[in-house]
Amino acid sequence: MTADPDLISRPAAPGSKADSRSYDEVMHCNRCGFCTSFCPTYLATGDEGLSPRGRNQTWRALMEGRLDPSDGRRSFDTCLLCGICTSVCFAQVPTARLMSQAREKVRQSQGAGGPMRFFLRVIVPRPALFEGLLKILYAGKKMGISRALNRWGVLRWISPRLEAAEEAVARAPKKFLRDLLPSAEKNAEVVHFLSCGPNCVNPEIGLATAHILKVQGVQAGTANTVCCGLPGQSFGDLEAARILARKNIKVLEEYPHATILIDDSSCAATVKEWPRFFEDDPLWRARAEAVSKRAMDVLEWLDSHPLALSAHAGKSIVTYHDACKARYAQGLVNEPRRFLAGVPGLEYRELPEADQCCGGGGTYQFMQPEISQAVGQRKAENISATGADLVLTSSVSCLLQLRNVLAKAQSKVQALHIVEFLARGK
């Protein structure tokens, strides 16, 4: 089985626009080091190679042919792609995006094959295969098999990544969101995008979003969308990300007037970034732009469509963790704070270092468990220091990480997606 031929790119010309732009951007790094004290992986390790400055210089050396690609791998793979470095950099060097490109170069230098590439390009774009595979793994979890293997140390022995994945996904959902929500009509006002987290890990988030839309009287439903492409982008297989983006664009073009509502900020940021995936392909870039401009993070939706909430929702002391893909990729900082301030009875306490990544980073928490835990521990300490009962966020990746690190810290603070919290008040 191969990737769908209609969705794959034609071979890129050598010296593509993306390559020359990447080189141009990395040359803007003047090595001032201002970003280093904000970078979570540098703060956790003290390793210059794991700072934005170190990463940019490593990428530059690779592009100039002064470094073997495999020697840059640790520096590139350990980046959380959080984006805080760009927000404090005077030259606005887009280190996170450069690291995705650097990972792609390393993967390409290692040959075309690899089970991950097959998984991302062939399995993930086909919901019957991808979700079928997850259901088999979940059946093993429900029977206690993966838990027992973890307790006996077998998963750690195979790979610490498997151990981290088993711990992060605390329980298997009974059904996926795709099976629970109705399909959108062609003239739907809103298409509820099936992000992998709310679809396959925490369907209660998608159900809460659907409930809020219903209460607001919005005509909404799901479309036959697939993963947004973020895992491919993070892994360094940008072609896998493009395959998924094209498949989604084709589906979403069937609902030309609908707002595309996304209740996971990581996916919302990726959908908004689709046009960048096609820098060397003007036709697909135009199609991506037309679809992406209709995308809306649920944080934006909630800010612009206020809910009349009962006081029940607010009887809590609440803090809020900014998902990096909401804060840095989409600039959504005031929106969640503004609508939380309107929840009756809620006591809001700002989280120290709310602008710092939690260490979740999508699959990062499974791929780089040691650094992820070190970063997450600091986040758990900051959350506990607020004295809040609840910490809210807007990405499933952050939610899994927060639950995991809070449990390890034996904290009583409960982590919830913001829509789950708001749906409680309706």
CB nearer to ligand SF4: pick between 371 and 423: 371
User: In terms of C-beta distances under 8 Å and separation of at least 24 residues, what long-range contacts does 276-283 make, across chains too?
Assistant: 276/97, 277/229, 277/233, 277/238, 277/241, 277/242, 277/245, 278/242, 278/245, 279/16, 279/17, 279/18, 279/21, 280/12, 280/13, 280/16, 280/17, 280/18, 281/9, 281/10
Burial class (CB in 10 A: 0-12, 13-18, 19+), 186: exposed
CB of 158 to ligand SF4, least distance (A): 27
Q: Over the range 18-51, which residues count as b (16 or more CB within 10 Å of their CB) and which as e?
A: bbebbbebbeebeeeeebbebbbbbbbbeeebbb
Which backbone phi and psi does 336 adopt, to 5 degrees? Answer: -65, -35
Please, are residues 77 and 367 in contact by the beta-carbon 8 Å criterion? yes
CB-wise, 63 or 243, nearer to ligand SF4? 63
We find the least distance from the C-beta atom of residue 99 to ligand SF4, in angstroms, to be: 6
Q: H or E stretch including 272?
A: helix 265-277
Pair 133, 123: CB distance under 8 Å:
yes
Half-sphere exposure of 172 (CA within 13 A, CB side): 18
Q: Which residues bind ligand SF4 (CB under 6 A)?
A: 29-35, 39-41, 52-53, 55-56, 79-85, 89, 91, 93, 95-96
| Residue 54: CB minimum distance to ligand SF4, A | 8
Residue 22 in 3-state DSSP?
helix
Calpha distance 421→355 (Å, rounded): 21
- By the 10 Å C-beta count (0-12 exposed, 13-18 middle, 19+ buried), 418 is classed as buried
Q: Where are the beta strands (DSSP E) in 170-209?
A: 190-192
Q: How far is CA 168 from CA 6, 246, 380, 400, 408, in A?
A: 35, 30, 15, 6, 11
Strand partners, 261: 192, 296
DSSP state of 36: G
390-393 vs 414-417, strand pairing mode: parallel
Minimum distance from residue 152 beta carbon to ligand SF4 (Å): 34
Residue 40: CB minimum distance to ligand SF4, A: 6
Q: Which is nearer to ligand SF4, 89 or 261 (CB)?
A: 89
CB of 88 to ligand SF4, least distance (A): 6
Q: Which is nearer to ligand SF4, 37 or 304 (by Cβ)? A: 37
Radius of gyration over every alpha carbon of the chain, rounded to an integer in angstroms: 21
Looking at the Cβ atoms of 134 and 402, the one nearer to ligand SF4 is 402
CB of 26 to ligand SF4, least distance (A): 9
Considering the complex, state which of residue 78 and residue 404 has its C-beta at the smaller distance from ligand SF4: 78
Cβ at position 78, least distance to ligand SF4 in Å: 8
Which CB, 41 or 393, lies closer to ligand SF4?
41
Nearest approach in angstroms of CB 292 to ligand SF4 is 22
Q: How far apart are CA 69 and CA 60, in angstroms?
A: 11
- Closer by beta carbon to ligand SF4, 54 or else 314: 54
Nearest-angstrom CA–CA distance, 78 and 39: 11
Shortest Å distance, C-beta 92 to ligand SF4: 8
The residues, any chain, with a CB within 8 Å of residue 280's CB and separated by 6 or more, are 12, 13, 16, 17, 18
- Report the largest interatomic distance among the alpha carbons of the chain, rounded to a whole angstrom: 62
Taking the complex as a whole, the smallest distance from the CB of residue 235 to ligand SF4 amounts, in Å, to 15
